Structure 1
């Protein structure tokens, strides 16, 4: 009986597959045990994560209970801004909450810092905030910040037009 080349190749493929299956089956459950061990480790990691999350939720609730002191009307800017060494920069016309966060990240926390900006710093901030060149000067952030620093309650177009700083 003679075999052609295709039959020999097919026989070799079948032998290799049989050999691989034999190796996998002869592990006496070794791979099953490894899989079960991995599942146990995963379950314990999930339990630990859930326990940490629950503990953090309890801590947050505890902190909220302790800091639930009533805040007087009108003191929100004082409690939120000045108490932490920051002014509410979003009171400047043209500054959004997101831009205020970006300003804080850039190191600008007080009205005086905005009022003291030079042209180079303005250009840098405009690039960082994604504003058009000259937008800070156009909206007069420096003038508004100066008015807010002095205590004017509503800086903006009306005070600039009337000259009442």
Structure 2
């Protein structure tokens, strides 16, 4: 049986590829060592992450044991007291995003909204992208005054003008 030159070349190429694959797959190969090193680093990172999560959960449990129960409305009251702000979104017509814009404009309390004049009203309407006259139409000043006094403004009181 005789081989042609092409067949011998293909046989040598197949042998070389097999030899290279064998080296790569062996435990002494460079890539195998790098892969094992990467696995060790990954396991260590996972253990570290799990330890941090466990420590955080233990800290949360400790803080929950130390604090008393939180009643309804406590979070809003504490947030307002800590930051010195009222919840302006309680005024009908003010959304959460508009409340943020009002805070950025320097309006943090109901008393500030109740005390705005017509010029400031027009400036706020332009800043919030509202139609002119919206603040007066929705009676933000009256609602803010009611909230400042501790009353929740209702539709009946706004329609009749009574407190």
Partner of 2:34: 34
CA separation of 1:27 and 1:69: change in aligned 2, threshold 3 A? closer
How far residue 20 of structure 1 moved from its aligned partner, in angstroms, is: 5.7
For residue 118 of structure 1, what is the aligned residue in structure 2?
121
Say if 1:74 and 1:28 are closer, same or farther in 2 by CA, change over 3 A. closer
Q: Distance in 2 between matches of 1:125 and 1:118?
A: 10
Please state how far the C-alpha of 1:100 moved relative to its aligned partner.
Answer: 7.3
Paired positions, count: 154
Could you tell me how far 1:91 is from its partner in structure 2? 2.2
Q: CA deviation at 1:92?
A: 1.5
Q: Is the 8 A contact 1:93 1:156 kept in 2?
A: no
Q: Which aligned pairs between 1:82-101 and structure 2 lie closer than 5 A?
A: 82-95=81-94, 98-99=96-97
Structure 1 unaligned segments of length 5 or more: list them: 127-132
Structure 2 segments unaligned to the other structure (5+ residues): none
Q: Distance in 1 between matches of 2:99 and 2:57?
A: 26
Computed over aligned residues only, the root mean square deviation of the Cα atoms, in angstroms, reads 4.0
* Residues 108 and 114, structure 1, Cα contact 8 Å, conserved in 2: yes
Contact 1:92–1:145 (8 Å) recurs in 2 = yes
Alignment TM-score, normalising by the size of structure 2:
0.64
- TM-score normalised by length of structure 1: 0.63
Cα shift at 1:159: 2.5
**Residues 86 and 110, structure 1, Cα contact 8 Å, conserved in 2:** yes
CA offsets 1:26-68 (integer angstroms, 9 cap, x no match) = 8832211111111111111111111111211221222222221
Task: Tell me, yes or no, if the aligned pair for 2:24 and 2:32 is still in contact at 8 Å.
Answer: no
> Cα 1:108–1:11, aligned 2, differ >3 Å: closer, same or farther?
farther
Q: Does 1:155 align with 2:153?
A: yes
Q: Bigger shift: 151-160 or 105-114?
A: 105-114
Whose Rg is larger? 2
Q: Distance in 2 between matches of 1:100 and 1:118?
A: 14
Q: Distance in 1 between matches of 2:27 and 2:76?
A: 69
